[in-house]
Amino acid sequence: MQYSRYGKDGPEISRLGFGAMRLPARKKGDWGSVNYTRAVDVMRAAMNAGVNFIDTHHHYHRGKSEIAIGRALKGWKGSHITVQTKTPWYEDEPREYFEKLLYEAVEKLGVDSIDYFLFHSMSMDAWKKRGRKFIRFTDWALARGLIRRRGFSSHETPENIKRFIRTREFSAMLVSYNWMNPQERDVIGYAADRGLGVSVMNPIGGGTLATATPQILRLLPGAKGAPEIALRYVLATPGVTAALSGMNTLEQVAENVEIAGRRKLMTAKQQRRMQARLDRIAAESRRFCSACGYCMDCKHGVDIPANFRLLNQVRFFGLIESAKRRYARLRSRKDGDRSAEACRRCGTCEPKCPIKVPIIQQLQEVAATLGGR
């Protein structure tokens, strides 16, 4: 296992982190449950292989993730395991609510102090409304030894994340990043240059990038599989301290540990070639949609850029099954059908497109390819 310092004053942590959001469940699809025996076995296998960084949240598995981690840590005789958890500070609840969650987390994890305590999914709006209260709350928790450092996770724009970093209030940052969604690449280096530890969620796109299509395997010739390509890409990115993987089998642990154990994840030549392939694909995909959003809002509810992103995943990477699953979710949104099948061919969108995409025609292609109609 390879290790790196988590920020300028943090501990040495494994380049592979254990993301405890997808632990083995008691039965398939029951995300609210945990098979504690299997979960502990998988976490202990990772810990024995050198993984010393675990990320969780009080809500994962409806609070059972922290319990499972506590059971894995109980009696552990190895080196210190760095634990990172999060709090839903965006919720408009009284301070006592968050104090209760923090005390519960410490108890469930079975630790004296939580190493990293993150403002979960911090948006600019939440920061403006509640950020200073979070700083005061974590100052209180730091003074009492309940936590050691604070940080944030975010799905914000790179520019807004840079604003969070410039507050100089945080020791760590967790962002979503992978070769298909590389928007945070610049901000990762920006954070690392300013002393923050950077961990990455979704390095394999929540499993989407684990499909070994011919198009994906061509991104990094010689790689054994798609998960290896995804992990090596993330870990070779300057500024990334650790990539979190939601491992739930012993086989996944063994595979990921082998990848993260490489001293050289990608040569400079491999990086250039992979990036050149991705840049060519990105340029080609912009011919079909640049995701500028000028076509929105659709009065019939169609999320046009989202539909086109899914079509491009099929066109350029062969990810048909994952695209179909995401398309089905667009169709069944609580706020109404956002899929291509909600299109009524009114034509309002097409004059707004700056690159003159034949939107109606392409939406029909999306519906035919992903909806089976």
Q: Is the alpha carbon torsion for 308, 310, 311, 312 positive or negative?
A: positive
Mean pLDDT for the stretch of residues 238-246: 94
User: What pLDDT is stored for residue 102 in this prediction?
Assistant: 96
CA–CA separation, 353 vs 65, rounded Å?
A: 45
**What's the mean pLDDT when you consider all of the chain?**
91
pLDDT band at 372 (very low <50, low <70, confident <90, very high): low
Question: Between vectors from CA 138 to CA 134 and to CA 144, what angle results, nearest 5°?
Answer: 155
**Stretch 329-345: mean pLDDT, rounded?**
90
pLDDT digits (tens, 9 = 90+) for 166-201: 999 999 999 999 988 888 999 999 999 999 999 999
Statement: residue 357 has pLDDT above 90:
no
The whole-angstrom separation of Cα 90 and Cα 69 is 25
Question: Taking the model in full, what pTM does it have?
Answer: 0.85
DSSP strand E in 15-136: where? 16-19, 53-55, 82-87, 114-119
Say if residues 338 and 302 touch (Cβ distance below 8 Å): yes
Q: What is the pLDDT of residue 240?
A: 96
What is the average pLDDT across 209-233? 89
Strand ranges (DSSP E) for the chain?
A: 3-5, 12-14, 16-19, 53-55, 82-87, 114-119, 147-154, 172-176, 197-201, 242-245
Percent of the chain residues past pLDDT 90, beyond the cut: 65
Any idea how long the chain is? Answer: 373
Q: What is the mean pLDDT of residues 223-248?
A: 93
Give the model's pLDDT for residue 313. Answer: 84
pLDDT for 106-138, tens place per residue?
999 999 999 999 999 999 999 999 999 999 999
Which among 145-159, 285-299, 342-356 has the top mean pLDDT?
Answer: 145-159
Q: Mean pLDDT across the stretch 41-65?
A: 94
How does DSSP assign 192-230, residue by residue? HHTT-EEEEE-TTGGGGGG---HHHHTTSTT-SSHHHHH
DSSP 8-state class, residue 297 = P
Give the CA distances from residue 151 to residues 260, 270, 318, in Å, rounded to whole numbers and listed in that order. 24, 33, 37
Q: Class assignment of domain 3-268?
A: alpha beta
Report angle CA 267, 273, 278 to the nearest 5 degrees: 125
The lowest-confidence range among 287-291, 294-298, 308-312, 343-347 is 287-291
**Looking at the predicted structure, is the pLDDT value of residue 373 above 60?**
no
- For the chain, give every domain's residue range: 3-268, 286-370
